[in-house]
């Protein structure tokens, strides 16, 4: 997982689980094995002490010179035991047939001791007490070597098991992780060109089912997009002819008779403005339907003149409205794709003019930066209509495509829109526009 992406990965999640379980098993096995080793020693000593007790029950005289053979202290009377045993154990607390032991630690490890005590009751209910004192110096060298070899074998076997688990983990990551990665790469590379190509086999049924769902979902999405694109394409192109006919005939009517009544002139002007609006809308649909991001021809344009022309062309939207319009510009020329620039300016100004009913509209241009402020209506339209719609979608798309800086917000009863026509890198060829 890369440092910039700290999200959970299925591969590392599985690896963590397997390592946690494996390490837990190895550690648990080590403790269990060590416990069994100590229990085995206790069982051996218990059996030896039982044998000594049975021997005492058969022939007590053998242990008259206790401790017998320097191994065990055996007596039928607890009071005959050495003082150290009586300090550490109580005769009343000794359970019949159960081995009791205590470890005595001192500052000098060689003086450490281990005391064992056992109580055995025969059929006549007479108790026999067996004790053993074990010191490190009394442990045979062979016993120490065997214990060391046993613990070494225990640690080596634990390490081998851990290595085997790690190997199994890498095998699981390879067999399960690789198909998942191939599924991700395959889904990422799906496009309209290869969406209908047969999907590869991802080994596991669940992954193949998931790939089938992804492919079918994308096929449905692409088909829906194709239908919408065809509709936009056909509608926008088919509308161009009647719109052109309408606008040409309106111009012809104006030329044929220059002395029309004022009412007729007002009707023709409204028709002419409606034709201009439909032309802009058709261009908008064509731009939204455009899938190619190839570089467009650039021209040296005067941004202040383009802005003033857009304001003049859309000024009819402010008729019969109590609006104070202020347009501040300064001469500034730069190389831009003229068509997209005009579409953005027209849509920004149209939104400001359409959604303002009173108050003030300020349009300010400084070099390649344009700011538009318009007063928001207090009644009537909802906030969803304030400057957002088809035109705003087109503005956002064009600004993303050409790298222009665009922002839109509302503050203190005003809608504030800003755009900066910064030269940017072309998405395809990487050259400055």
Per-residue pLDDT tens digits for 94-132:
888 888 888 887 777 666 778 888 888 876 778 888 888
User: 214 vs 63, which has greater pLDDT?
Assistant: 214
For 175-211, the pLDDT digits (tens) are 777 788 888 888 888 887 777 778 788 788 888 888 8
Whole-number pLDDT of residue 288:
60
Sign of the dihedral defined by the CA atoms of residues 338, 344, 349, 350, in that order: positive
Distance (Å, whole) CA 425 – CA 362:
31
What are the residue boundaries of the structural domains of the chain, listed by start? 10-155, 191-291, 296-420
Tokens read off for 199: 């999907």
Whole-number pLDDT of residue 287:
64
Whole-number pLDDT of residue 151:
66
Sign of the dihedral defined by the CA atoms of residues 224, 230, 235, 240, in that order: positive
Residue with tokens 């359409």: 354
Whole-number pLDDT of residue 372:
92
Whole-number pLDDT of residue 371:
93
Tokens read off for 414: 């005003």
Whole-number pLDDT of residue 174:
74
Q: In what order do the strands lie in the sheet with 127-134?
A: 73-75, 127-134, 113-121, 100-104
Whole-number pLDDT of residue 364:
92
Structure letter (DSSP) for residue 76: S
User: 415 vs 65, which has greater pLDDT?
Assistant: 415
Q: What value does the mean pLDDT take over residues 216-220?
A: 85
Question: Would the pTM count as exceeding 0.75?
Answer: no
Distance (Å, whole) CA 396 – CA 424:
15
Q: Which residues pair with residue 75 across a beta bridge?
A: 129
The H or E element containing residue 300 is strand 299-302
pLDDT at 420 over 60: yes
CA distances from 21 to 1, 17, 159, 389, 427 (A): 22, 6, 15, 56, 49
Whole-number pLDDT of residue 224:
83
Mean pLDDT of all residues in the chain? 76
Architecture per CATH, 10-155:
2-Layer Sandwich (3.30)
Beta-carbon contacts of residue 338 (< 8 Å; ≥ 6 apart): 298, 299, 301, 306
Chain-centroid distance of CA 136 in Å reads 59
Q: What value does the mean pLDDT take over residues 295-312?
A: 83
Residue 22 pLDDT level (bands cut at 50, 70, 90): confident
Nearest 5 degrees, angle CA 338-CA 341-CA 347?
Answer: 140
* Under 8 Å between Cβ of 329 and 293: no
User: 13 vs 362, which has greater pLDDT?
Assistant: 362
pLDDT at 370 over 90: yes
Q: What value does the mean pLDDT take over residues 47-75?
A: 73
End-to-end CA distance of the chain: 37
* Under 8 Å between Cβ of 390 and 373: no
Range with the poorest average pLDDT among 361-375, 378-392, 414-428: 378-392
Whole-number pLDDT of residue 382:
43
Architecture per CATH, 296-420:
2-Layer Sandwich (3.30)
Q: What value does the mean pLDDT take over residues 387-413?
A: 78
* pLDDT above 90: percentage of residues in the chain: 4
User: 103 vs 331, which has greater pLDDT?
Assistant: 331
Residue 5 pLDDT level (bands cut at 50, 70, 90): very low
For 252-287, the pLDDT digits (tens) are 887 777 677 777 777 787 787 777 767 766 766 666
Cis peptide preceding 31, ω within 30 of 0: no
Nearest 5 degrees, angle CA 56-CA 58-CA 60?
Answer: 45
* Under 8 Å between Cβ of 120 and 130: yes
Architecture per CATH, 191-291:
Orthogonal Bundle (1.10)
Helix residue ranges per DSSP H, 59-126: 83-88
* Under 8 Å between Cβ of 141 and 147: no
* Under 8 Å between Cβ of 72 and 50: no
Radius of gyration of the chain (CA): 47
Residue 381 pLDDT level (bands cut at 50, 70, 90): very low
Instruction: Encode 12-38 in three state secondary structure.
Output: HHHHHHHHHHHHHHHHHHHHHHHHHHH
Specify the 3-state DSSP secondary structure of 394. Answer: helix
Specify the 3-state DSSP secondary structure of 325. Answer: strand
> DSSP string spanning 135-163?
-GGGS-HHHHHHHHHHHHHHHHHHHHHHH
Whole-number pLDDT of residue 291:
53
Nearest 5 degrees, angle CA 278-CA 280-CA 282?
Answer: 70
User: 305 vs 319, which has greater pLDDT?
Assistant: 305
Q: What value does the mean pLDDT take over residues 411-423?
A: 84
Specify the 3-state DSSP secondary structure of 408. Answer: strand
Residue 214 pLDDT level (bands cut at 50, 70, 90): confident
Whole-number pLDDT of residue 369:
92
* Under 8 Å between Cβ of 27 and 94: no
pLDDT at 91 over 80: yes
Q: What value does the mean pLDDT take over residues 72-78?
A: 82
Q: What value does the mean pLDDT take over residues 377-392?
A: 53
> DSSP string spanning 262-291?
HHHHHHHHHHHHHHHHHHHHHHHHHHHH--
96, 93, 70, 66: which is closest to 81 by C-alpha? 66
């Amino acid at each position: 997982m890369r440092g910039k992406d700290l999200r959970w990965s299925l591969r590392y999640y599985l690896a963590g689980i397997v390592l946690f379980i494996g390490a837990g098993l190895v550690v648990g096995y080590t403790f269990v094995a060590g416990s069994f080793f100590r229990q085995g020693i206790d069982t051996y000593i218990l059996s030896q002490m039982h044998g000594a007790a049975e021997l005492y029950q058969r022939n007590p005289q053998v242990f008259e010179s206790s401790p017998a053979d320097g191994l065990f202290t055996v007596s039928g009377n607890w009071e005959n035991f050495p003082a150290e045993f009586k300090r550490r154990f109580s005769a009343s607390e000794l359970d019949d047939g159960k081995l009791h032991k205590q470890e005595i630690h001192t500052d000098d490890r060689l003086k450490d001791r281990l005391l064992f005590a056992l109580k055995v009751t025969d059929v006549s209910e007479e108790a026999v007490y067996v004790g053993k004192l074990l010191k490190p110096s009394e442990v045979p060298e062979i016993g120490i070597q065997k214990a060391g070899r046993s613990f070494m074998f225990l640690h080596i076997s634990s390490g081998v098991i851990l290595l085997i688990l790690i190997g199994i983990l890498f095998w699981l990551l390879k067999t399960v992780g690789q198909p998942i990665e191939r599924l991700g790469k395959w889904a990422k590379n799906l496009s309209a060109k290869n969406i209908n190509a047969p999907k590869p086999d991802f080994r596991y049924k669940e992954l193949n089912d998931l790939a089938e769902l992804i492919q079918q979902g994308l096929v449905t999405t692409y088909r829906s997009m194709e239908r919408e694109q065809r509709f936009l394409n056909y509608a926008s192109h088919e509308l161009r002819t009647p719109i052109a006919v309408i606008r040409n005939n309106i111009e012809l009517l104006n030329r044929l008779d220059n002395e029309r009544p004022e009412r007729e002139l007002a009707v023709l002007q409204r028709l002419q403005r409606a034709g201009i609006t439909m032309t802009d809308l058709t261009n908008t649909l064509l731009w939204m339907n455009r899938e190619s991001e190839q570089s467009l021809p650039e021209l040296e344009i005067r941004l202040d003149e383009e802005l003033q022309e857009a304001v003049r062309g859309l000024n009819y939207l402010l008729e019969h409205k109590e609006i104070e319009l202020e347009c501040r510009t300064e001469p500034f020329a730069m190389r831009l794709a003229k068509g997209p620039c005009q579409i953005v300016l027209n849509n920004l100004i149209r939104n400001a003019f359409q959604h303002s009913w009173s108050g003030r509209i300020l349009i300010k241009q400084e070099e390649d930066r344009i700011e538009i402020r318009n007063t928001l209506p207090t009644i009537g339209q909802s906030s969803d209509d304030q400057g957002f719609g088809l035109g705003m979608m087109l503005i956002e798309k064009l600004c993303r495509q050409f790298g222009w800086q665009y922002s839109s917000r509302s503050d203190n009863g005003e809608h504030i829109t800003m755009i900066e026509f910064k030269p940017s890198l072309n998405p395809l060829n990487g050259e400055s526009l």
